[in-house]
Amino acid sequence: MKNNIQEVKMHQPQLVRFFNKVSAEQKINHSYIFEGLDRDDVYAFSLWIAQLVLCREKQADGSACGVCSVCRRVATLDYPDLLTIEPDGQSLKVEQIQNAKQIMMKSALEGQAKILIIRDSEKMTPSSGNRLLKFIEEPEGETYIFFLTSQAGQLLTTIKSRCQQFTFMPISKKVITADLVAKQVPQSKAEIIAEVSNSLSEAVELIADEWFNDAKSNVEKWYSYLSKRDPLAFVYVQQYLVKLAKEREQQWLIFDLLIAFIKSSAQRAEVVATEIDLVLAARQKLKSNVSFQNVCEQLVWRLMNKA
């Protein structure tokens, strides 16, 4: 797992305060929905909640000690009464849920609580989900279920209506930039990566992504022609960008990168705003299936002829 518990806690201070309090009052619910764009972050956070439930050396403020044998084994996924399941292919299948349920119904090997964590839980089919309802409503003994998702909107309503839901705050660009710089990424590159990613793990993946690095230097070059109103900016579209970005998602990212370079340029705020508007309008056109090359060439014309 890429993100450790300490790092995630730092990024979600409000949730940490809230759950420490709940833990101090011994009011941790038996089921929760945790929603966040970064699935590894959400998973690390749910492991921290598992520590809150299981820690044998809890602090006065309710927090888990993080260092006792239980806390350590939870963090390294080496605790026998903690079970994680995730989709096998496109969905969470009935058999997976059935197996998990059977394990959960046995008594805890360590004599404490048993915890089930379901990742990507929006991929539960209705028949899988319905098998868990009784578990949520009448938890037998000390059993806990945490549903993790990046799209709570797609979770089964039967589950949603029975669990308290918490959504992670998106991590600010500043935090992502600082984190990348701490990982030895140069400041200017860190700012561009932070600008185009929604989460820390996405940002970390981009650092070494060959296609991304190639795209980044190409867009930088393209933008340097654009800002000099050099007609080479037209040629550049056909010669490089079209070949580079064949997939729709890559084409989106080209525009995101362009916006990142515009934001980092030393122009007046109004100019930056106008340019970003033009790129956003172009990005919108891609949605209506206009060809990438046409959209880019129109954009070049507009950027170079703007008032």
State phi, psi for 145 to the nearest 5 degrees.
-130, 130
Residue 233 and residue 300 in contact, taking contact as beta carbons nearer than 8 Å: yes
Nearer to Zn ion, 63 or 251 (CB): 63
For the window 45-64, what string marks contact with Zn ion as x by the rule CB under 5 A? ----------x-x------x
Q: Which residues on neighbouring strands pair with residue 148, listed in sequence order?
A: 34
CB of 144 to Zn ion, least distance (A): 16
Interface with Zn ion, residue 156, by CB under 5 A: no
With b meaning 16 or more CB within 10 Å and e meaning fewer, what string describes 180-212? Answer: beeeebeeebbbbbbbbbebbbebbebeeeeeb
57/230 with CB nearer Zn ion = 57
Q: Which is nearer to Zn ion, 64 or 85 (CB)?
A: 64
Cα distance between residue 249 and residue 133, in whole Å: 38
Residue number, 76 or 291, with CB nearest to Zn ion: 76
Nearest 5 degrees, angle CA 282-CA 286-CA 291?
A: 105
According to the binding rule CB under 5 A, does residue 71 interact with Zn ion?
A: yes
Q: How far is the CB of 65 from Zn ion (least distance, A)?
A: 4
Question: Please, what is the minimum distance in Å from the beta carbon of residue 49 to Zn ion?
Answer: 13
Least separation, in Å, of the C-beta of 51 and Zn ion?
A: 6
Of the ranges 12-20, 69-77, 231-239, 248-256, which one interacts with Zn ion (CB under 5 A)?
Answer: 69-77
Does 65 help bind Zn ion (rule: CB under 5 A)?
yes
B/e letters for 126-159, b = 16+ CB within 10 Å, e = fewer, are eebbebbeebbeebeebbbbbbbbbebeebbeeb
Closest approach of Cβ 71 to Zn ion, in Å? 3
Query: Which residue of 16, 28, 37, 68 would you call a contact of Zn ion, by CB under 5 A?
Result: 68
The distance of closest approach from Cβ of residue 28 to Zn ion in the complex, given in angstroms and rounded to an integer, is 15
Number of residues engaging Zn ion in binding (CB under 5 A): 6
Helix residue spans in 77-153 (DSSP H)? 94-105, 126-130, 133-137
Q: Work out whether 74 is an interface residue with Zn ion (CB under 5 A).
A: no
Locate 185 and state its tokens: 């990424």
Q: Provide, rounded to whole angstroms, the least separation between the CB of residue 100 and Zn ion.
A: 25
Nearest distance in Å: CB 73, Zn ion = 10
Q: Residue 68 or 83: which CB sits closer to Zn ion? A: 68
Residue 71: other Cβ atoms inside 10 A: 24
Q: Helix H segments across the chain?
A: 5-11, 13-24, 39-54, 69-75, 94-105, 126-130, 133-137, 157-160, 173-182, 187-196, 200-207, 210-227, 232-236, 242-244, 248-264, 269-287, 292-305
95 burial level (CB within 10 Å; 0-12, 13-18, 19+): exposed
| 75 lies in the binding site for Zn ion (CB under 5 A) | no
Mask for 191-230, x = binds Zn ion (CB under 5 A): ----------------------------------------
Nearer to Zn ion, 71 or 296 (CB): 71
Residues engaged in binding Zn ion (CB under 5 A):
55, 57, 64-65, 68, 71
